[in-house]
Amino acid sequence: MSEYSLFADSVNKTFGRRLIFKDIRFKLDSSTIFGISGPNGSGKSTLVKIIANIISPSSGKLIHNLNGSEIKPERLHNHIGLVSPYLVLYDEFTAYENLNYFSEIRGISFNNERVDNLLNKFLLFNRRDDLVKTYSSGMKQRLKFIFALMHSPQLIILDEPTSNLDDEGKEVVYELIKEEGSRNIVIIASNEKTDLLLCNERINLDEYKN
Amino acid sequence: MSKSYSLFKKDLHSELRTRYAINSLAMFIIVTLSVILFSIGNETISQSLTGGLFWVVIFFTSMSGLSRVFVSEEERGTSLTLQLIAAPSTVFSGKLLFNLILVFAMNTVIAILYSALFEAFIIKNFGLFIVSFILGNIGLAFASTIIAAIISKAGAKGTLYPVLSFPILLPLILTSVQLTLFSIDGTSFETAQFELAIVVCYDVIILTVSYLLFDFIWKE
């Protein structure tokens, strides 16, 4: 089993003069479920984007290690799976086409078995050949989970993971968080108490403002 | 390279389904050529003027469609998805490949229609025309792709694209116009060497700068 670790070293973020958070430090190893909480506008999504290497911190750094060696930033995307409300998949393609293109662009072979398993788990198998634009918001959210997990990432980042999901969908997600959290790093950014109850470590961004 | 090709395939498939760029480019070519034809009427225009007008049509048609590669991703919110599945160099190469194909297809159609509609547009040195056409198209695709990436992050995308493109494309357009005039006059390759060297240098510089800059543009 690969050992993944994530180390945040004094991470600060400001937008112009506005401080979002400062001096965030943590070290996470595999088999951790880490929670990021805080009120609306506290910077949860900003921290998620920094961890996913989508935006840069104003100062400080995040170090991703796999089996003891640091992962180069340009290769990081193959180790991360992200689910978030601001993630949009291609409406003009079917679920299967979306997932197939994502595999090809990542440069990994399309794992039919894993994708079909995930489609079954998230109850989308029968709709796999329908255009994504015909999906409801809950179905799109479930497809985002498949997108995030299809390449078996070691770091799974879930920003508001249960938004738009019905009770059945939430159950599947909670089961998955527990399963993935037993071998990988799972980060949950949420305000939902039930989401945060799954975490074994947690930070509240309200405490990183001064 | 195979990852970039996969991104190109995704863009081509998406374009064939949504017709984001193809429709606007086709309409623009038809409208521009029609306006020029109507404004000329029965007048005869000089050969040198047809060479200039040819690149005017190419420049404005490019402005109407080539920004779509990045703007459509930004408008639909799929830029983030691309950031999560590919390295910046893969994204740029894939988008560049798409714009190269689009530029060549679009400008070939323009050249054929233009030759058919304007009697004065007679090329005497066809070899020189083909070489300058290819080099000009490559430069146009390179420059328009990186400018599209820059403006896709801005608010007033539609206005900013031609404004930012004009100074960057001006050396290329002026030299390409000169090379087209040489082709019409039947000037030899030896005489056109200096202008050809300028376009080659332009293409190399723009490509190098684009790859160096793209990481900073792509990551917020």
The pLDDT score that the predictor gives to residue B220 is 66
Per CB-CB distance under 8 Å, the chain B contacts of A105 are: 3, 6-7, 10, 82, 85-86, 90, 94
The pLDDT score that the predictor gives to residue B154 is 81
Q: Can you tell me the distance from the alpha carbon of B27 to that of A160, in angstroms, rounded to the nearest whole number?
A: 43
The predicted-structure confidence for A41-75, as pLDDT tens digits, reads as follows 889 999 999 999 888 999 999 999 988 899 988 88
| Nearest of B66, B63, B45 to residue B55 by alpha carbon | B63
Interface of B with A (CB under 8 A): 2-3, 6-7, 9-10, 13-14, 17-18, 76-78, 80-90, 94, 219-220
The DSSP line for A81-111 is: EEE-TT----TTSBHHHHHHHHHHHHT----
The predicted-structure confidence for A129-165, as pLDDT tens digits, reads as follows 999 999 999 999 999 999 999 999 999 999 998 888 8
Hey, is the C-beta of A105 within 8 angstroms of any chain B C-beta? Answer: yes
To the nearest 10°, report the CA torsion of A144, A1, A117, A34.
Answer: -40
Give the chain A residue nearest B6 (alpha carbons). A105
Residue A1 in this model has a pLDDT that exceeds 70: no
Interface contact A104-B9, CB threshold 8 A? yes
The predicted-structure confidence for A90-135, as pLDDT tens digits, reads as follows 999 999 999 999 999 998 888 889 999 999 998 989 998 999 999 9
| Distance of alpha carbon B81 from the chain centroid | 26
Interface contact A77-B87, CB threshold 8 A? yes
| Nearest of A1, A9, A145 to residue A64 by alpha carbon | A9
**Mean pLDDT on A176-198:** 90
To the nearest 10°, report the CA torsion of B46, B49, B50, B56.
Answer: -170
What number is the ipTM of this complex? 0.87
Closest in B6, B219, B220 to A105, CB measured: B6
Per CB-CB distance under 8 Å, the chain B contacts of A87 are: 80-81, 84
Give the chain B residue nearest A86 (alpha carbons). B77
Interface contact A105-B13, CB threshold 8 A? no
Give residues 41 to 80 of A whose Cβ lies within 8 Å of B: 52-56, 74-75, 77, 80
To the nearest 10°, report the CA torsion of A166, A170, A173, A174.
Answer: 180
Task: Tell me the nearest-neighbour CA distance from B57 into chain A, angstroms.
Answer: 31
What is the token pair recorded at B129?
Answer: 């025309």
Superfamily of domain A4-208: P-loop containing nucleotide triphosphate hydrolases (3.40.50.300)
